[in-house]
Amino acid sequence: MASSEADSRLSRVIVPALEKILKNASWRKHAKLAHECKSVIETLTSPQKLQSPTSEAGASDAGEPEVSVPGPLHDGGSVEYSLAESESILSPLINAAGSGVLKIADPAVDAIQKLIALGYLRGEADASGECPESKFLASLIDSVCKCHDLGDDAMELLVLKTLLSAVTSISLRIHGDCLLLIVRTCYDIYLGSKNVVNQTTAKASLIQMLVIVFRRMEADSSTVPIQPIVVAELMDPTEKSDVDSSMTVFVQ
């Protein structure tokens, strides 16, 4: 059984997001999503219901090997969740991010960003990968990328923050078409955003992504140190005047 401490760590990130999704969801249009959210909340707040890979080993011997397949979700420590458990917990966030409704997508993307930044997601995200885990993580990234189409300034920044966290993460590795999708999304925000700060942040994000990707490729390592880029340094004087002087924007 997964430890209560591990469940508490995940709960602090996921449960508040799911509660916001439930609050903003339409019970008619998003009945399935609401049901998924309630189920995950109940699971994470009732740790005894969540089985660990170790406890599932017996089920594997009983003819259910798929249950014990390690998944991308873990607690930041020694506790891992199976692929089935990971999909069950993360699917509501993916579906909420892809709902096309800003108030529902926002808490979902925010939670995904925190999971990546805290190192709770690991593995390779590649839509063309043979591993089910790779395809699942790719669908997670895809759901985040689609949110920039909502046309909201704050969401654009959150998408950029999440995608940069994914590319610079040392536990989550982005490859192939998934990496191309991230680069294209940042480029689309740079070209299409009506907010100059968002445009400049997208530019800074692209620069940092490409730098870290090539540094890792040259070093053949995923743990290359990251050098933060100050967005204000990339802005023209006329652009800087549009930004609140009391606020310094960092991409890191």
Q: 247 phi and psi, to 5 degrees?
A: -120, 125
Would the pLDDT of 1 be above 60? no
Residue ranges making up the domain that contains 127: 122-224
In the numeric block, which tokens belong to residue 203? 């530019």
In a domain, 73, yes or no: yes
Would the pLDDT of 47 be above 60? no
Within this chain, do residues 37 and 140 fall inside the same structural domain, yes or no? no
Torsion of CA 8, 14, 16, 17, to 10 degrees: 180
Within this chain, do residues 10 and 104 fall inside the same structural domain, yes or no? yes
Within this chain, do residues 220 and 145 fall inside the same structural domain, yes or no? yes
Within this chain, do residues 144 and 205 fall inside the same structural domain, yes or no? yes
- C-alpha distances (whole Å) from 211 to each of 85, 204, 247 are 35, 11, 25
Give the pLDDT confidence of 75-100 residue by residue, as tens digits: 766 678 899 999 999 999 999 999 99
Q: Provide the pLDDT for residue 103.
A: 95
Q: 229 phi and psi, to 5 degrees?
A: -115, 130
Give the pLDDT confidence of 136-170 residue by residue, as tens digits: 999 999 999 999 999 899 999 999 999 999 999 98
* Distance separating alpha carbons of residues 33 and 69, to the nearest angstrom: 25
In a domain, 250, yes or no: no
Within this chain, do residues 161 and 197 fall inside the same structural domain, yes or no? yes
Are residues 125 and 166 in contact, defined by beta-carbon separation less than 8 angstroms? yes
For the chain, percent of residues with pLDDT exceeding 70:
74
Q: Strands 229-230 and 172-174, how do they pair? A: unpaired
pTM equals 0.81
Mean pLDDT of 193-217: 91
Q: Provide the pLDDT for residue 49.
A: 53
Task: Please give the tally of structural domains in the chain.
Answer: 2
Within this chain, do residues 144 and 91 fall inside the same structural domain, yes or no? no
Domain final residue, candidates 75, 108, 141: 108
